[in-house]
Amino acid sequence: MGNHLARQDHQPGNHAADGQDLPVPAAPQDRALSDALSAGRLAAALLLGAAGLLLFGAQPLLYAAYVHAGAIDAAGVGRLAATEIAMLSLGCAAGVAVLRRTPAWPVVVAGAALLAAGNLLSDSLPLFPARAVAGAGGGLLVALAAAAIARRRDVDRAAAAFLFLQAASQTALVQWVAWDAARAAAAPLQQALAFIGLLSVPLALLLPSRLGLPLAPAGDAAPRPSRAGHAALLVAGLFVGAVVGLWAYLSLWMESKALPASRIGTLLALSLAGQMAGALLAMVARRGRSSNRALAAGGGLLLAVAGLLWLGPAGPLGMALALLFGFAWMFATPALTGFLEEVDPARGSLPHAAAAQLLGAALIPTLVGALAQGLDGTMMAFATLVVASMMLLLLVRAASGRQRPGSSPS
């Protein structure tokens, strides 16, 4: 999810014919902050953000454990995911605002403390408030990665690197659970999330004293999203919300197919490995038309989901489909961010990408969980929304192309 949070901090219209960025003079404040953010400091911020988003890797296993323990029923999974992701979004927004005025280390300490408290106090607090506290803490840690990415000139590569770190850390967590089925219970998972959050606190020592997002130069108004930009934000929110829903219900759906816990752990690990591969390819791939990449990746994701639903998750084919699901998900995500720039060249919509995608991730699983019947029906509903997002992308691209010859879309 790191590329959602990135913002382009160079000006539009400075692209060479081959797609490479031309040098753009930076304001003194921006230049100083960009120079201060070395690769090591960027890595520290991205690791902190990955710790905050580790809950996404644990989500299928953790929510299944809650269902087995009777803490919630299957219909409540969507509401719980919405609560946690919404609080993550609010925590991220609050962290970004605070970082403009304070040093980075208080945000690190507060984020790790809330993340640990929400996970370790789950026996003392009701489930929904506990996960809300953990989500807010994770969001504060994600804000550090968001600010660091926005300070880099190579913002696309930094965002893809963040995706890779997320997938790698989540794969390690799932593999750790797969080695011992007893770890699939809620308590060990929550303890692991809390420990990793606290263990990340020393990384604050590697961050610059100030990590605030760059401000617009004096007298310049920040560009506002165009109509096409607003529509592209809807595409991104719809797609991400549907895919997050698929991921949140995946473990429960596989259990309904009578798969043993060890097999489910293997398939989740393969899917996370596919996410790493997709993020890595997005990081090194040559820049092309983002909408084409998003459509191709969306088609691959739909193929994976259709194959799992109709052919089942058993056997080598199930392993290949799980791998394809993760790969297509992480290859499509940065392409959707690029699509915002494609249809809104002034980049007015880019700063709102994180909010749109997290809002979709919070609302769509809740609505589908409340309205769909059965686990198969729930998975089909999410897949249908992925199709809808791809159709809307085509409509937005066509409308934007008709408006562009004389002027930028408005």
Q: What is the pLDDT of residues 315-365, one digit of tens each?
A: 899 999 999 999 999 888 878 877 877 888 776 676 567 667 777 888 888
Sorted by where each begins, the domain ranges of the chain are 2-9+35-214+223-403
| 276-383-393 Cα angle (round to 5) | 80
Provide the 8-state DSSP code for 184.
G
113, exposed or middle or buried, with CB in 10 Å at 0-12, 13-18, 19+?
Answer: middle
- Residue 13, Cα to own-chain centre: how many angstroms? 28
**pLDDT recorded at residue 153:** 65
Residue 113 has pLDDT above 60, yes or no: yes
> Under a CB-based contact definition with an 8 Å cutoff, are residues 119 and 194 in contact?
yes
| Helices 155-179/54-69 angle, 10° precision | 30
Using pLDDT thresholds of 50, 70 and 90, give the confidence band for residue 17: very low
% of the chain residues with pLDDT over 90? 30
Using pLDDT thresholds of 50, 70 and 90, give the confidence band for residue 303: very high
pLDDT tens-digit profile of 199-257? Answer: 999 999 999 887 765 444 444 455 577 888 889 989 989 999 999 889 888 888 998 88
Q: Per-residue pLDDT averaged across 155-174, rounded?
A: 79
Q: What are phi and psi of 15, to 5 degrees?
A: -125, 135
**pLDDT recorded at residue 34:** 43
Other beta carbons within 10 angstroms of residue 97's beta carbon come to 13
**pLDDT recorded at residue 173:** 81
- Please tell me whether the overall predicted TM-score, pTM, comes out greater than 0.85 for this model: no
How many whole angstroms separate alpha carbon 281 and alpha carbon 163?
11
Using pLDDT thresholds of 50, 70 and 90, give the confidence band for residue 391: very high
> Under a CB-based contact definition with an 8 Å cutoff, are residues 264 and 251 in contact?
yes
Other beta carbons within 10 angstroms of residue 127's beta carbon come to 16
The rounded mean pLDDT for the chain is 80
Residue, of 211 and 391, whose pLDDT is higher: 391
Q: Per-residue pLDDT averaged across 94-102, rounded?
A: 84
How many whole angstroms separate alpha carbon 393 and alpha carbon 404?
16
Residue ranges of the alpha helices (H) in 53-154?
54-69, 77-99, 105-120, 127-150
Where are the extended beta strands (E) located within 282-352? none
Residue, of 365 and 300, whose pLDDT is higher: 300
How many whole angstroms separate alpha carbon 278 and alpha carbon 110?
32
How many whole angstroms separate alpha carbon 116 and alpha carbon 96?
21
- Give the fold, CATH level 3, of 2-9+35-214+223-403: Growth Hormone; Chain: A; (1.20.1250)
Residue, of 306 and 268, whose pLDDT is higher: 306
**pLDDT recorded at residue 217:** 46
**pLDDT recorded at residue 406:** 45
